[in-house]
Every structure is written in C-alpha cells, then in structure tokens.
Structure 1
Amino acid sequence: MAEDRAPKGKSGEKTLIRDISFCGVPENGSNASMVDVKDGKIIRIRPMHYDWKYDPEKHMNPWKMDVRGSTFEPSMKTLIPPYSIAYKKRVYSPARIRYPMKRVDWDPSGAPGSTGPGGRNPQNRGKSKYARISWDEALDTIVSEMNRIKEKYGPTALLYQCDQHGENKVVQACHGAGRKLLPLWGGYTLQIRQPDSWEGWWWGSKHFWGCEPVGQGKQSNLLYDVAKNCELLLFWGCDQETTPWGWQGQLPSRLSYWYSELGIKQIYVCPDLNYAAAVHADRWIPVLPNTDAALYLAITYWWFKNGTYDKEYLKTHAVGVEAYEAYVMGEEDGVPKTPEWASPICGVPARVIKALAEEWASKRTSVVIGNGGPGIRGPYATEPARLQNICLAMQGLGKPGINQVKMIEWGLFDFPDQYAQPKPLRVPNLRTAYTGGHPSDTNHPSLPKTYVPKAILEGECDWWGCESETAPREDQFVHRFYPAEGCSKIHAVWTDSPSWITCWNSGNDYVRAMQHPDIEFMWAQHPWLENDALLADIILPVNTKLEEDDIAGDIFSGQYNLLFPEHKCIEPLGESYSDYEIVCMLADRLGLLEEYTGGKT
C-alpha cells in the first residue's frame, strides 16, 4: 500500500501507509495514516482514505448498525488522533538519540560501587554528561558486562525492563525483543508490569464475575446493544474524547454523538468536567476522587429500601445477596449506607444520589468505562470495581441494554468476546510475526514494576500474584519473594522501555535505586534522551517506526480491519537501529544469533 502520488514525479512526493498508534500489542494495531514524504523527509501525516485505492462498491463490505431509523457505519477515512497527526515532531525531535553514548564518568574497569576517576560512579547516574562512542565499543562493553555479571552472580542478576506501551511494531519489535534472547543466554529477572490499566477490575471484579483475563465485562457487539436497547448511559470515569487517542483513534467520539441523536440520555460521573462530559453530558455529577464506593453503596441502599431492583434475576444469577444487603442496610455494622451517609464522603448531595438511583432503576442502563480512569487505579480500587458490578447485577446484568460497555480496547488480544463493534468475518493477527514481549509472557524469577526500588534499596520484598498482566485470578493467591529462592539480587539493568519515573509514583525512589552501588551496570535503548534513559551508563539509539520496514494491521480503530506492509518512510536518523536489530547484534556477539533468529533474516 505504498505508491507515488505523482507517478510522473512532478511533485516529488510519495505516500506510504503506517500504523501510528501506541498500544504496543501486535494483535491490536490502529490509526492507519498516510505519511507524505519528499526528498527523504516527512512532509505531513494525515488520515488514510479507505477509498484511496479501493472501490467502496466493489471491494468494501462495511458493518452497519440500523437502529431507530438511523444508520451508523465506518467513515471513508481513518479517524486518527492528534498524537498520530503530529508524530513528525517526535521523529525529528531534538531529543533524538542518534549515536551510541556512554556516561563520561562510568568506567567499566572500575570496581563495583567505585567512585571518582576510574570508577563506576553509580551515584552520578542522572547527573553525568554523555560522550559519543562507536557501535563496536558499545556492544562489546555490554556483552562483556553481561558475561561478567552472569559469571559473578548468575544470570538472574540482570533485570530486564521491557513492558508496554510503545510504538506499534511487529517484526521490528516494540519492547521486549530480548525476552527470547535472555533464556538462551542462561536466564534473567523479568520486570512485570502490574495490570495498572485494569487495576480494580483485575484484582476485584475477577472474583465477582470472572471475566478473565482483565476482569472487565464481556463486550460482544455491545455498541449495537446500546444503540438498540439502552435508555440511559452512565459514563463513569470515562473520557472517550481523549483516552482512546493513542490506542484506537476517534470512533468513540462519533458514537457518542450518534447515541445522543438516538435519544439515549448520557450522565457523566467524574471529578472533573472532562472533554467528553463537556460536549456530550445531559447531566454531569462531580464526585470526589476515589470515593465512588460510597456512592455505589448509597445507590444500592436506595434500591433495597424501595425494592427497585431485579429480585428474580438475583435469585438465579447471584449468591451472597442477603449478606450484602445486611451490610448496606446497616445490620452488620450498625451503619446504614444511606445517601445522607454517603454525601459528605463523596461530595454528591443526597438528593442527587437518590435521583440518580431512581433514574438508573427506571431505565435500561449501561455503565460506560474507558478502562475506569484514576477511580479504578487508586488505593482499594477493588471496591468501586466490584460495587459497580453489583449495581449492574441488581438491575439485570446481561439483559438488553444493561451491561458494562468499554470505549477503548475493542478486540483486546483478539479475544472474540472483546469485539464491541460488529465483529468482521476475518481478523488479521500478527502475533506469530512479532519479535517483542507480550503482556501474557511469564518468567521465573520476576519482579513487579512498582517493587523495583524497594527490592534494590532494601534488598528484599514479597508480594502476591503478578505472574503476568493476564494471569488468572488463582495466581493472586501465590506468594512470591525477592530474591527468589536460588536466584541472585539485581546487579545490572537493561531497559528498552525507560519510562519508569514518568509513569509511576515514587520516581525519586527509582532514581535512588539506580544510583545504588549494587547496580553495577545499566544500559538503555530508546529513540529519545529522556526519562530513565538519563540514568543509563550506555545508551543505544533506536529508530522510530517511520524509519524501518515492517508489517502492520489496523484492528483497534473499530472501522475496517486492515493488513498492510509498512515500507520505510525515511532513512534511520544517525546510526539508529530497530529494537530487534539491536538485540540481533547482541545475540551475534554472544554466539546466539542463529538460535535467536531461527535462521531467519
């Protein structure tokens, strides 16, 4: 799908199709974009028009939703977000790393923890300047340090940080191309990213209604169910005007306008008047951050008191109703969870809580989430997650128009029950061509991402669960320890996703951990000099996806499913390579290239 726009060469431009999205999971590319290139430079990025090369009448078979006298179907162009349109700025960013670099006061011949001239100076990570070095020096130093660390401590002394998210790459890898190499080398410790996107659902809802692997409700064809059957939508902590941008573009925005045109009422419950609430809400109910549990409890109190819930449904679909009712009505602890009780906690007036409860019970209502926002990722987020599920169950969860609906991640992991839009006959899946890491990957030993500073600074820690981002709920009862039995503490760090300090709390603790004398070597590979890369002893330059050949699909967008080759738009800047190419170079020096690549180019 790459061709010259002006075959005769009058303009000198050519147009190439690229997936410019940032989920970093091979099953779920999106945001197919037209990249216009002239004289080896990117001129502009714009939406891809589906009818650019194909006749809509002959070659396209779009899904349609015909409901209430109105039709909704995919548009004739991709609905790419500002992130994609402006990506040229990232490609040509002044922060691009163009050459291998070494920290000027890090000497690999120095003793572990040594300071001063000729030392490793770990205390200066994040403060030191860098000097350009050759690829040979960089790779030879990394391989030498890897083997030294393995010989002295064992292979599990190397922590590999390689979790999502990032540019959607397939053959060239997004993150985690080393996950296949390191077991061949002898082993490693894998940094596990907790299921932060789905925190409350993952730890809480999976014990309420199952719904593996992430704990959110089944999504099969729910966009049509909403259009046909819903009378009220409760957007709870959801901003579909911005949240889906990096993942799937702006179809959720179009849908929200259409739902309003169909006469479906939209109420937004969120602390801030977010972008979606500002343009779509029939009513905005501000709630104090992380107090949703009190609001849910008061709503169910009102339903129990007035009998406005689906008793017959609960008789056949739920257990433990009596115990929950006893708690809500105050029989268990002497505190009835009334609207008056909840109001000072959540900041919503008691009269509004009662009105919301009555409106919810009187209409076919679905709750709409964009993964849940901060309300599902804060402390004790398991409780609002399960309480939202309880509210839905009390009104007949699964009946027409009564569901938990997502405005993001349609088709997650290519699971059939995650396609909220009408599912196409065939869905391209590029998992077998992918060379990077995946949320379902496991490794022994592993270490939860947020425990990295504690493990290094204190020397030990323990936790429950977290074998992987998609581990079943039974794994939450497995007790794990650092260092794992028979394994070393961490003495070296390899990161190809250097964004710890900007994505998580306690960034200062992470900086202190990387400055700890136990960390004898740290190297990073990344396109930009930013975040954790500034702590590395050696930095390797990675190119952006517009500088390499690959293959891609567009699935998450929710419109037409696409499969297309991605031809290089421009030559790599400086001496940058793809993540996969860099790991291949390391594998070559370790004598593992043939085994790592399987003999494939």
Structure 2
Amino acid sequence: MGSKHRKGMERRTFLKSVLGAGAASLMAPSLLGSRASAQAAPAANAAARYARSLDWAGPLTPSTRLTASHWGAFLAQVEDGKLVGVKPFGGDRAPVPMLQALPGRVYARSRIQYPMVREGFLKKGARSDRSQRGAERFVRVSWDDALDLVAGELERVKASYGNASIFAGSLDWHSVGKLHNAPTLLRRMLGLFGGYTDNTGDFSVQAAMTILPHVTGNIEVYDQQTAWPTIIENTDLIVLFGADLIKNNQIGWTPPDHYAYPALQAVKERGIEVVSVDPRLTDTARFLDADWVALRPNTDVALMLAIAHTLYTEKLYDEAFLKRYTVGFDKFLDYLLGKSDGQPKTPEWAAKITEVPAATIRDLARRMARGRTMLMGGWAIQRQDHGEQAPWMLVTLAAMLGQVGLPGGGFGFSYHYASGGAPAANAPVLSGISAGDNPVKTAIPFAHGVSDLLLNPGKTVDYNGEKVTYPDIKLVYWAGGNPFSHQMDKNRLIQAWQRPEVTIVHDIFWTSSAKFADIVLPVTTTLERNDIDNMSEYTNQYILAMHKAVDPLFEARSDFEIFAELSDRLGFGRKFTEGKDEMGWIRSFYEEARKQAKAMKLSMPDFDTFWETGYVAFPVPESAKQYVRYGDFRKDPDLNPLGTPSGKIEIYSRTIEKFGYDDCPPHPTWLEPAEWLGGAKAKRYPLHLVSPHPKYRLHSQLDNTWIRDWYEVNEREPVWIHPDDARARGIAHGDVVRIFNDRGALLAGAYVTDRVRRGVIAVHEGAWYDPDEPGKPGALCKHGNVNTVTMDKGTSKLAQGNVANTVLVEIEKYEGPVPRVTAFEPPAQAQS
C-alpha cells in the first residue's frame, strides 16, 4: 500500500473515532479551559462536570424541561416551580460552561418587573425633556395603561408624520426560537400598521456580506463550508486570519451542537500545521500550537498582498486556475507589481506597514504553496476601515493557490462561528413566524446607520451602488436587542437618541438601552415560554422542543403576547395572530416540517409525541462529511457558474468599478485606515484598541450574572496590555485604568499579558454601559463598555459596515477613589 493511501486510511479511521456522534463529549475541558486568567479552573471544572453528565436520552420527567439557548440545548431542572439547575442535552458534543449561568439570568436583580414609563414622558409625552433619557426616574404603570400609551404614540406619529418616521431598530441578537423572535414580531406588527423604516444588512458581517457577492456570488459568511472531516483528511496547513475558533464556536444564532470542538481536537492530534495571523495570541492558537504572526491591527491586506507578490514572483501560483475560474487577475497584477501606482507590494513594503519581517512573509507564502492549504477568515478582519478589502484579498490568495474546490483547500469565512464546517443533516427546513410585508421601502445600512439616521434626517448616503435618503425619525421601537451596548461611539449615540419624540424598548433586564427609553415593557426569558428551534444552523440535525420551565416572573410577558395585544388595539389583531396562540404556532411550524420530511422519506413522530420526547434527530449522510465548497464549480464552471456577472471569481469587479467609489476600488487594495499605528494620530494616541467577542458572554448577554466573576478584574471589564506598554505607564496587573481618546473614556481592569503584541490593547465588547453621569454625553463608563471610544463611520460607501477595530487610544492608571459599579442596578423609581 502506498504511503499516501495509507495516510488516508489512517485519517479516515481516526475521524470515525473522534468525530462520531457523541464521541467528543470530553473535549470541552481541554478546549474551553484555556484562558489567560487565574480563573481558568472554574470554567474547566464546569465543562468537565457537564461532559460527565451526557446520559440523558429522554423522554422528559416532571422535574426537567428541555429547552435551548445561544450556548446550546439543555434540560432545565425545576423544583417547586423554581429553576434550580441545568443539564446539557445529550446531542451536544461539547457543552459549554455558560449554561450554568442561565438560572442566574432568570433571577437576576436587574430583571424589569413591571411596565415602566420615564417620569417626564408620562407627564408631558413628546414635549418632555429628552436630555433626561438615561437619567430620569421611572414610574410603574399597569399593562393596560402601557399598551394604550404605546398604541396611542404609534397612531399619533403615523397621523402626524407618516409611517416612514417609525424606526424598527431591532436587527441583532435575540432569544433563540422560531416564534418568539422579537425583531421579526416587531416588524410583523408594524408592517400591518402601515410600515416602518427598516435596517438592511448585518451588524456583525456587513462589510463581508456586501463585498463577497460581488466576488464569489455568495454571502459566504453564513454559507455551508467545506466539511471538517474533509479538512482533517486532506489539509496540510490551516491559516487563520483573525479567527478564534475555540472561543467563538461556543455560540450560535440557533442552539449550537459544538461540532467544531471534536474537529479541532482532531486537527491537533493529526498534527496539521496552523498559522494564526492576529495581534493577539488567541485560545485557538495556543491550543493548536499555531505559529503566531503578530501583525499590526488593520494591516491584513498589506500582508496578504505581499504573500501574493511572493507567490507570483516565485512562480508558486496556479496560472491555469486563474485563467479558467477567475476574471480580472491581469488588472490586479498591475497593482500587485506596482505598474499602476509605482509601488510593488513586496514583503519589504509590507514589513514596514505590518511590522511582520519580510522573511516571515516569504516563508508563509512558500508554506501555503507547498501543500493543501485552507484559509480561514474571521469576521474581525472586516470590522475595520475599508473592511471590504480583507475578505476580497483572502479569496484572491486562495485563487492564486488554485485549491478552491479541492478537498481540504480553498477558503472559508464561518469556521469560527456556530460550528461552520459541520456536515449537514438530511433534514427538513423548520420555518418560523414571518415578518410579512413592509409598505415603506426605506432601509438603512444597519451597522453604521443608526446614529447617522437619527442625527441627519434628509441626508443621502451611498450604499452598494444605491442612494439611501434618511427619513426624519420620530419614534424608535426596539425589541430583542441592546443598541447601547453594540453601537459604535456611545456618546454620539446618546446625542442621536435624544432626537426622536418617543423611544419604546422591550427588554428582559434594565440594560442601558432600557434605561434610555421612554416606555419600557418587561418580557420573558426563553425559560418562561414555549418555542421550537433547530439545533445548529449548519447541521440541522435536531428539531428541539423548547419547553417553558417556569412561570413568568413578576409581570413579564412574551413579545408575541405584547404585539398581539397591541395589534388588537390597533385594529388588526386577527391578522397578526392568524387565529393561533403560542402552541398553535409552534405546532404549525412542526407540522410543516413533517410534511417536508414525508416527501423526503424521513420519519417524524406526531407533534404530541415530539413535544413529550423533546426532540427529533435526522441522519447525517456520509456524502455530507465529504462536502467540498465550490467542488461542483471546479469540476465544471460552465455548468455550475457562480452568482457573479461573469459566473467566475471576480478579482476585478466591473460592477464596483461602475460605482466609482473613492474608498472601494474595483480590486483588492491596501488603503490606509482612518486610525492605525502607522498614522499621524498615533503620536497622540499610541495604542491600537481591538474589541474581540467575549469568551464567557454573547455580546452583553450574561454580563449581569455571577459568571462575570470568572473574567472581571477589579469588578471591571479586563484590558489586555503587553508588559512593556504597562511598564512604560506604571500600570500593574489588577490596576484600574482609564482608556480614552477624543470620543470618550472608560475604566477597565489591567490584565498584563504577552498574549497581545506591543502597541495593542484588547477590551472585549459587551460590558454593560455604566456612566458616572447617567444620560450625559461624554460621561465616563465605570464598568468598561468599549464603545465609549470606538469610531462610528462606515467601512466604505460600498458596505457602510462598522469599523469597531479601527481605534487609537491612550491608557493610564486611574488615580483617586474608584467609583462603584452600578450597571446592574435598576433605575430609580418614582411613585405613580
């Protein structure tokens, strides 16, 4: 037997043992336990306890209820009507420790208990002092009064200004479930009311999902990736560009099954080489013993251009692939070689920009060309000024290597999220409630547009070849999100938030968004209502029953119930509900999937049996484990063209050329960011701040539970700082520090570590905003919300994405008494 064939047999045998169903249940401690903190042990021990408990196979008992979350499916353990613990679902391959915090989330002190109205608004309505939002006391009102007030404001604004003056802000993370989808329910109600100004795009991946359809004809960031078993069997080198797979695969838009963790264990045990290009040494890089290329932030494109220059000049590129499967390489080549601008993109040129040695760049290019290489791009590399360029350049690199469509080669943009790369099950599609039609056709680019919209009525902006004119927004309605956590440039948002006449928020907790609202309606957690969902948006291997575990606390109601009652008041209640209650909708989603399953010759039990058992499992065919993205395209590009105008990978886009944007050229280009360590502003603010997703939260979710004890430093969000940078500023591990620039300031707890390169600091996004002067623009955040200093501008005229990672700051030890954190305390309440 030849050595190559023998190696393949060994890998296939290994895959069966490691990636088999349930075989990875012991992976969580080794993968999730690695963290740069003294509190690693609690997380690892928690994961180990969960891994040992995977013995449940249903049906449910009276004391347990199967339900699900963004961290996975689990059994809610209930005693005397109270949630006392959780136990993971047996189909979860590597349960994560954050499940432990879910009971604390239900019983958090920060729960909104009753409908509340800002005191000034209750007295004066739209004539109230809007500068008091975020500072003023609230008054408790009855549900009838609250709903009458909301319905009245909607009718008043519609009659006075028209439906376009109503903004449905929610378009971000919300609770899992096909029915209780707050942003969808909000749009359903407002659509029946006559319409609303909407958002378009995706806050997380706006730049990538806008540019990549021009390049490959697909959004890519949510598409099926080449299957992990194929990578493990065929790949020689994985190059991670800003992708931390271990940390980010803990979560999913739908309940994840954590397939990525046994896959990563297999990568490690097979000895696949890994390179991590990142200003931080990530958990993934540490676990996989990756070579760390610690470049300056926002210089990924310069690095990739120099790799491309080496591939071309050393004849390591695949000329035949470029000719058959791509268009525009000749025009890009003129830029790469400096013919169009006088600057060849050599490794020496890139070394000055990236501070990565030229020899390292050349070596990486040669390694990439030596064997089968998979390029894995994280979403972080497109959250920067000109963020469209990095994904485009990554695809161009993959095309030059000529391995797109080959097993284990090419590129992917979703391996670091929700187990992208997991083989897909043969399963029906589980539908959800529809948002319906919106008679108003105005939609703003979400990531950058919210503050810009509110501050600049009548302004026209470019967006992906179109012009969008902002309407004059008088009413903001937000349900299922937390804009005061995720929107850039907090102080600009506060000023913008003072412009509308009324702001309405549905929330579970007294988040900063709720505290800045005029009318606040308390909603239930997923554990206080019934729902249904898929497990894993990539595999769809299970349909899960999400059982109500406990009765709603205080006066909380589900978003569905709230919007149904509002629809009644507004005269279209029957159209909103279609005559179905909560369980009626859930049953209808299941029965529709059951019809599909029958046509696919798949077996599904009747609804009542499913609801009692708690789940339905679907088979994963062997063919799915060998799925290769763009495999069909490679076999025959004429019969399987891409969705681009040429049907091929477009390294040069004539569509973008026609747009004529000065900040998004028609081929991948290095463009100097608005703020970076090589720019003039670095003399005043010499540290580049990056804001990765947190390890033990989902954005701001869970920050109000005891789990923050695992990561906070001195009761603040940690800031990673290199020992040399800390020493130069007299900062010691554990100090409270002030991070600041022209846009704002925040306090954080110093975590001194060499896991971040010199000149860079890292503060994870999602800490609850906690101003020392509530409601006031420019207030100091006492707790560490990074968006008090981030920049609110679009990536370019093409995508208008967010540039969260384009930030320069300075840091200093905080002198004087350290203020008490009050982020998780309810606001003051006035007597009604």
Normalising to structure 2: TM-score of the pair?
0.60
CA distance in 2 between counterparts of 1:218 and 1:401 reads 16
CA distance in 1 between counterparts of 2:212 and 2:449 reads 23
Aligned to 1:39: 80
Please show how residues 166-315 of structure 1 align to structure 2 within 5 Å: 166-190=174-198, 192-211=199-218, 214-216=219-221, 219=224, 221-247=226-252, 248=256, 250-315=258-323
Q: Are 1:514 and 2:497 matched, yes or no?
A: yes
Change (3 A) 1:556 1:384: same
Work out whether residues 2 and 567 of structure 1, in 8 Å CA contact, stay in contact via their aligned partners in 2.
Answer: no
Work out whether residues 191 and 438 of structure 2, in 8 Å CA contact, stay in contact via their aligned partners in 1.
Answer: no
CA distance in 1 between counterparts of 2:257 and 2:544 reads 18
Aligned pair partner of 1:444 in 441, 445, 448: 441
Aligned to 1:539: 520
Aligned to 1:480: 468
Residue identity in the other structure for 1:130? F
CA distance in 2 between counterparts of 1:423 and 1:279 reads 26
Summarize deviations over 1:354-408 as a string: whole Å, max 9, x none.
1101100111100123xx2322211111111111111100111222321213324
CA distance in 2 between counterparts of 1:199 and 1:451 reads 11
Aligned to 1:357: 365
Change (3 A) 1:346 1:507: same
Residue identity in the other structure for 1:179? R
Work out whether residues 260 and 266 of structure 1, in 8 Å CA contact, stay in contact via their aligned partners in 2.
Answer: no
Change (3 A) 1:216 1:594: closer
CA distance in 2 between counterparts of 1:40 and 1:436 reads 34
Aligned to 1:424: 425
Work out whether residues 224 and 538 of structure 2, in 8 Å CA contact, stay in contact via their aligned partners in 1.
Answer: no
Q: Secondary structure at the match of 1:106?
A: helix
Q: Are 1:575 and 2:555 matched, yes or no?
A: yes
Q: How far is the alpha carbon of 1:309 from its aligned partner?
A: 0.8
Residue identity in the other structure for 2:85? R
Q: How far is the alpha carbon of 1:569 from its aligned partner?
A: 0.3
Work out whether residues 170 and 552 of structure 1, in 8 Å CA contact, stay in contact via their aligned partners in 2.
Answer: yes
Q: How far is the alpha carbon of 1:409 from its aligned partner?
A: 5.0
Summarize deviations over 1:486-539 as a string: whole Å, max 9, x none.
xxx2111111134112112122122112223xx221111110111211111110
- After superposing the two structures, state which structure 1 stretch, 168-177 or 278-287, moved more: 168-177
Q: Secondary structure at the match of 1:107?
A: helix
CA distance in 2 between counterparts of 1:549 and 1:257 reads 35
Change (3 A) 1:553 1:15: same
Q: Are 1:17 and 2:15 matched, yes or no?
A: no
Q: Are 1:79 and 2:83 matched, yes or no?
A: no
CA distance in 2 between counterparts of 1:165 and 1:442 reads 25
CA distance in 2 between counterparts of 1:499 and 1:254 reads 33
Residue identity in the other structure for 1:499? N
Q: How far is the alpha carbon of 1:543 from its aligned partner?
A: 0.4
CA distance in 2 between counterparts of 1:286 and 1:249 reads 31
Q: Are 1:434 and 2:439 matched, yes or no?
A: no
Aligned to 1:104: 119
CA distance in 2 between counterparts of 1:462 and 1:101 reads 36
Work out whether residues 542 and 577 of structure 1, in 8 Å CA contact, stay in contact via their aligned partners in 2.
Answer: yes
Change (3 A) 1:150 1:436: closer
Residue identity in the other structure for 2:430? L
Q: Secondary structure at the match of 2:63?
A: strand
CA distance in 1 between counterparts of 2:530 and 2:220 reads 36
Work out whether residues 524 and 539 of structure 1, in 8 Å CA contact, stay in contact via their aligned partners in 2.
Answer: yes
Aligned to 1:25: none
Work out whether residues 221 and 423 of structure 1, in 8 Å CA contact, stay in contact via their aligned partners in 2.
Answer: no
- After superposing the two structures, state which structure 1 stretch, 328-337 or 120-129, moved more: 328-337
Change (3 A) 1:590 1:218: closer
Q: Secondary structure at the match of 2:183?
A: coil
Q: How far is the alpha carbon of 1:78 from its aligned partner?
A: 4.2
Change (3 A) 1:155 1:512: same
Work out whether residues 527 and 549 of structure 2, in 8 Å CA contact, stay in contact via their aligned partners in 1.
Answer: yes
Q: Secondary structure at the match of 2:407?
A: coil
Summarize deviations over 1:99-152 as a string: whole Å, max 9, x none.
101111223655x4x3xxxxx121101111112110011011111111111111
Aligned to 1:131: 139
Aligned to 2:399: 393
RMSD value, Cα: 2.3
Change (3 A) 1:361 1:399: same
Q: How far is the alpha carbon of 1:79 from its aligned partner?
A: 2.4
Residue identity in the other structure for 1:394? M
**Seq. identity, %:** 28
Normalising to structure 1: TM-score of the pair?
0.82
Residue identity in the other structure for 2:510? L
Change (3 A) 1:208 1:442: farther
Work out whether residues 83 and 246 of structure 1, in 8 Å CA contact, stay in contact via their aligned partners in 2.
Answer: no
Change (3 A) 1:152 1:219: closer
Q: Secondary structure at the match of 1:242?
A: helix
Q: How far is the alpha carbon of 1:215 from its aligned partner?
A: 3.9
- After superposing the two structures, state which structure 1 stretch, 532-541 or 99-108, moved more: 99-108
Where has structure 1 moved over 6 Å in runs of 4 or more?
Answer: none
Residue identity in the other structure for 2:209? W
Residue identity in the other structure for 2:87? R
Aligned to 2:381: 375
Residue identity in the other structure for 1:584? A
Q: How far is the alpha carbon of 1:97 from its aligned partner?
A: 0.6
CA distance in 2 between counterparts of 1:261 and 1:46 reads 29
Q: Secondary structure at the match of 1:19?
A: strand
Summarize deviations over 1:172-210 as a string: whole Å, max 9, x none.
2242312122222222222x1533332342233322222
Work out whether residues 381 and 387 of structure 2, in 8 Å CA contact, stay in contact via their aligned partners in 1.
Answer: yes
Change (3 A) 1:566 1:446: same
CA distance in 1 between counterparts of 2:288 and 2:88 reads 24
* More RCO (CA 8 Å, sep 6+): 1
Work out whether residues 175 and 480 of structure 2, in 8 Å CA contact, stay in contact via their aligned partners in 1.
Answer: no
Residue identity in the other structure for 1:448? P
Q: Are 1:586 and 2:566 matched, yes or no?
A: yes
Q: Are 1:599 and 2:575 matched, yes or no?
A: no
Q: How far is the alpha carbon of 1:552 from its aligned partner?
A: 2.4
Work out whether residues 498 and 531 of structure 1, in 8 Å CA contact, stay in contact via their aligned partners in 2.
Answer: no
CA distance in 2 between counterparts of 1:347 and 1:600 reads 61
CA distance in 1 between counterparts of 2:390 and 2:439 reads 29
Change (3 A) 1:340 1:464: same
Residue identity in the other structure for 2:69? I
Aligned to 2:695: none
Q: Are 1:555 and 2:559 matched, yes or no?
A: no
CA distance in 2 between counterparts of 1:402 and 1:78 reads 26
CA distance in 2 between counterparts of 1:479 and 1:555 reads 36
Change (3 A) 1:199 1:458: closer
Change (3 A) 1:184 1:577: same
Residue identity in the other structure for 2:453? A
Change (3 A) 1:442 1:304: farther
Aligned to 1:523: 504
Change (3 A) 1:255 1:575: same
Change (3 A) 1:165 1:294: same
Change (3 A) 1:4 1:220: closer
CA distance in 1 between counterparts of 2:200 and 2:514 reads 18
CA distance in 2 between counterparts of 1:421 and 1:552 reads 18
